[in-house]
A and B are shown apart, each in its own frame.
Chain A
């Protein structure tokens, strides 16, 4: 099993729908992150969490919300999806006490039509 699992892998949804992307990890890391990746724009941080009671906005949090249900689970919600939220979304975890940076999930390709 993968260390960081994202579901679904692909999703097509309609404008205005609510959608949740899920992330779970077996790394035992406290820190979890959600990024989106768009062609030509690189990876941009949406939200991050350093423990279950800690939630922080990133660079582009508008239109998104998150929930840290447990140390191992971090979900990203789009309350009312819009087409410019079409992107590749990555969840990542880290343990900054050790060199190695982030461990990424396989990504969720979201298309909003």
Chain B
């Protein structure tokens, strides 16, 4: 089975940097995904890591350590529109298992 933990809520200020952590325990691992989800909307793909290290895409970066079962999503230069839920998801043998999501509130 899969067990995925991430903080329930985080707050940050516009223009700042925030790091959202995710730890996982899995019986199979084929990669880790991060999704963004605004309230009432569908999740949208942000990043994918399958090898250890940092993947950078604009203001967003994601890091993976497979030996530690750990990932983080780093958001830089926060904007108000970044207020959303961020979902960590682990790809197992055949499907994605999602964490419960981290609600990020960005304040002015």
CA distance A40 to B45 in the complex (A): 20
Number of interface residues of B (CB under 8 A): 23
Q: Which of B40, B42, B95, B100 contacts A42 (CB 8 A)?
A: B100
**Contact in complex: A101, B98 (CB < 8 Å):** no
Distance, CA A33 to CA B42, complexed state (A)? 14
**Chain B contacts for A56, CB-based, 8 A:** 94
Name, among A33, A43, A56, A58, the residue most crowded by chain B CB atoms within 10 Å (CB to CB).
A43
Q: Tell whether, in the assembled complex, residue B99 and residue A102 are in contact, meaning their CB atoms are under 8 Å apart.
A: no
Q: Report whether A90 and B42 are in contact in the complex, using a CB–CB cutoff of 8 Å.
A: yes
Cβ contacts under 8 Å, A101 to chain B: 33, 35, 45, 48, 89, 91, 96
B21 contacts A by Cβ under 8 Å: no
User: Nearest B residue to A40 by beta-carbon distance?
Assistant: B100
How many positions in chain A have a CB within 8 Å of any CB in the partner chain? Answer: 26
Residues of chain B within 8 A (CB-CB) of A43 are 43, 87, 98
* Chain B residues near A94 (CB-CB < 8 A): 96
Residue among A44, A99, A102, A106 making CB contact with B41, cutoff 8 Å: A106
**Are A107 and B41 closer than 8 Å at their CB atoms?**
yes
B45 in contact with A102 (CB, 8 Å): yes
| Complex CA–CA separation, A105 to B43 (angstroms) | 9
* CB proximity to A under 8 Å, residues B1-49: 8, 30-31, 33, 35, 40-45, 48
Q: Which chain B residues have a beta carbon within 8 Å of chain A's beta carbons?
A: 8, 30-31, 33, 35, 40-45, 48, 87, 89, 91, 94-101
